[in-house]
Amino acid sequence: MINSIILPMFAHVMWTAILYALVTVLRAPKVWGIAAKSDGPSTLKTLEVKASANLSNQFEWPLFFHAICIILIANPSLINSTYIVLAWIFIAGRFLHSGVQILSNNIKLRGLVFTINYLAVLGMWFTLFINIVNASNHHV
Query: What's the Cα-to-Cα distance from 44 to each of 27, 75, 103, rounded to whole Å?
Result: 8, 45, 12
Q: What's the confidence (pLDDT) of residue 90?
A: 98
User: Could you give the number of structural domains in the chain?
Assistant: 1
Distance (Å, rounded) from C-alpha 113 to C-alpha 92? 10
Distance (Å, rounded) from C-alpha 114 to C-alpha 116? 5
In angstroms, the first-to-last Cα distance of the chain is 28
Domain residues for the domain of 43 are 2-138
Q: What's the confidence (pLDDT) of residue 38?
A: 57
Distance (Å, rounded) from C-alpha 52 to C-alpha 139? 48
For 96, what's the count of Cα atoms within 13 Å in the CB-facing half-sphere? 17
Q: What's the confidence (pLDDT) of residue 44?
A: 83
What are the average pLDDT values for consecutive 10-residue runs of the chain, which has 140 residues?
90 98 90 65 86 96 97 95 97 97 96 96 97 82
Distance (Å, rounded) from C-alpha 92 to C-alpha 90? 6
**What 3-state DSSP class applies to 37?**
coil
**What 3-state DSSP class applies to 79?**
coil
CATH classification of the domain holding 118: 1.20.120
**12 exposure class (CB count in 10 Å sphere: 0-12, 13-18, 19+):** buried
